[in-house]
Amino acid sequence: MTFTQSNDQNLSQFVASIQKLNVDDQLALFYFIYKKMGDSVTPAAPGASTASADIAEGLFNQIKEKSHEEQLQFQRDLINKADNEYTRMYGSMSDTTKLLFWYRLAQGMDSNVISPMPPNYELSSESKGILNQLEGMDFEQQITLFRDYVSPMGAEPKQGAEV
């Protein structure tokens, strides 16, 4: 698939192409995206007021206490939409907070608080293709896409637990 236009259908197709990758490829791709975005993302961005930093931090602090194996499992659980205490906490967050939470995880990987990427990890050629297309989009589109990507992850919170 080639990304040429900026309409909603193209965006959702693009998100679907990421969701079709196996879970570990998705995690690896998402991390590479984080790396590429570098300084263009800052939790102090103007829109950051719509993210609940405390809530993202609360879950992050619980995850960082876990073993490296459990941390990785939790991240796989989010993508797999497994239902447990932590994926439900994730599910209760707003989309922007979910994005902030993933951002915190990636930062945690870089500071070794969260299980880091294996050294010299290479993306699959399919993932590289997706990354290339993503780089051709403008920032606004990228953010929309990431929101759409992280939004359905995790598990449904109990009724009334939306934050």
**Residues near ligand 45D, by CB under 6 A:** 24, 27-28, 30-31, 33-34, 37, 41, 43, 45, 47-48, 51, 72, 75, 96, 99-100, 102-103, 105-106, 109, 115, 117-118, 121, 143, 146
**Least distance (Å) between residue 68 CB and ligand 45D:** 8
Identify which of residues 67 and 159 has a Cβ nearer to ligand 45D in the complex.
67
| CA–CA distance, 37 with 138 (Å, rounded to integer) | 12
* Residue that has been written with the tokens 């499992």 in this structure: 73
Identify which of residues 140 and 158 has a Cβ nearer to ligand 45D in the complex.
140
**Least distance (Å) between residue 40 CB and ligand 45D:** 8
| CA–CA distance, 76 with 108 (Å, rounded to integer) | 16
In terms of Cα–Cα distance, which of 139, 120, 140, 151 is closest to 18? 151
Identify which of residues 61 and 158 has a Cβ nearer to ligand 45D in the complex.
61
Identify which of residues 118 and 160 has a Cβ nearer to ligand 45D in the complex.
118
Q: Record the tokens describing residue 125, joined without a space.
A: 């050629």
Classify residue 154 as exposed, middle or buried by CB count within 10 Å of its CB (0-12, 13-18, 19+). buried
